[in-house]
């Protein structure tokens, strides 16, 4: 990543969606949209030339299929994190894409705030994959919805919603990073969550935590954005 800005490349065959995404992301002081493309072939070429930190890629871009595009992108720009955007919530599709090495999968109905959190999260959380697909909660082995969230677990989840890393949460709460991870494992199990973003969404939906607040640009009140 260059400096403190996250460099993003947008790929979707709908011009209006690319323009909307660009406008949304440019509201964030730490984001820079470095380019956009309508298809997978151009995505590969631009990734090779621009080396973006994050590629937002529509699952249904025309031309070459995503199972060709994603490996070529990662070969051309190994440090680029690929986040898929889709209207589909098929767990089988998500699994296939995960096997290709993507770092996130989002339904196009997510909010701007959610999208921004996922992009920041994929830059901060090592090898963790961020998924926002409701059907994953229904897959076997995704957890126990009857478990109660403890006060400490709720504190940890609130800080996750604020986009803090495990290390930052540990420092804030005066506990070890290993303890933070243990609390998160418990939260994931109790909520049936498959990622940090999924846990935050489920926590908000269950009124366990407040929705994360959007970040404002430095020196500018929210009402001036």
Structure tokens at 47: 């990734």
Name the pLDDT band for 170 (thresholds 50, 70, 90).
very high
Give Rg (Cα) of the chain: 18
Count Cα neighbours of 135 within 13 Å in the Cβ-side half-sphere.
Answer: 12
Report pLDDT digits (tens) over 7-25: 999 999 999 999 999 999 9
Report pLDDT digits (tens) over 112-140: 888 888 888 888 755 556 666 554 433 33
Q: Tell me which residue has tokens 């406008």.
A: 23
CB 43 within 8 A of CB 64: no
Whether the full predicted model's pTM is greater than 0.75, yes or no, is no
Name the pLDDT band for 58 (thresholds 50, 70, 90).
very high
CB 32 within 8 A of CB 70: no
Nearest to 74 by CA among 47, 94, 105: 47
Q: Tell me which residue has tokens 């070429």.
A: 45
* Nearby residues of 205 by Cβ (< 8 Å), 6 or more positions away: none
CB 147 within 8 A of CB 190: yes
Where do the domains of the chain lie, and which CATH numbers do they carry? 6-136 (3.40.50.2300), 140-205 (1.10.10.10)
């Amino acid at each position: 990543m260059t400096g403190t800005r996250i460099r993003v490349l947008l790929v979707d065959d709908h011009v209006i969606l690319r323009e909307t995404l660009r406008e949304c992301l440019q509201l964030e002081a730490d984001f820079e949209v470095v380019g956009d493309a309508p298809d997978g072939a151009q995505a590969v070429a631009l990734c090779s030339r621009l080396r973006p930190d994050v590629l937002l890629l529509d699952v249904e871009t025309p031309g070459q299929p995503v199972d060709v595009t994603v490996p070529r992108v990662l070969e051309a720009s190994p440090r680029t994190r690929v986040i898929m955007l889709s209207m589909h919530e098929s767990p089988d599709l998500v699994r296939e894409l995960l096997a290709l090495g993507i770092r996130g999968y989002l339904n196009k109905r997510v909010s701007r705030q959610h999208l921004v959190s996922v992009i920041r999260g994929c830059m901060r959380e090592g090898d963790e994959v961020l998924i926002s697909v409701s059907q994953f909660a229904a897959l076997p082995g995704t957890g126990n919805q009857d478990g109660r969230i403890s006060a400490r677990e709720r504190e940890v989840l609130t800080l996750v919603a604020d986009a803090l890393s495990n290390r930052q949460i540990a420092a804030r709460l005066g506990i070890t990073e290993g303890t933070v991870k243990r609390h998160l494992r418990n939260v994931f199990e109790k909520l049936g969550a498959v990622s940090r973003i999924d846990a935050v969404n489920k926590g908000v939906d269950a009124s366990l935590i407040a929705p994360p607040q959007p970040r404002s640009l430095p020196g500018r009140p929210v009402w001036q954005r």
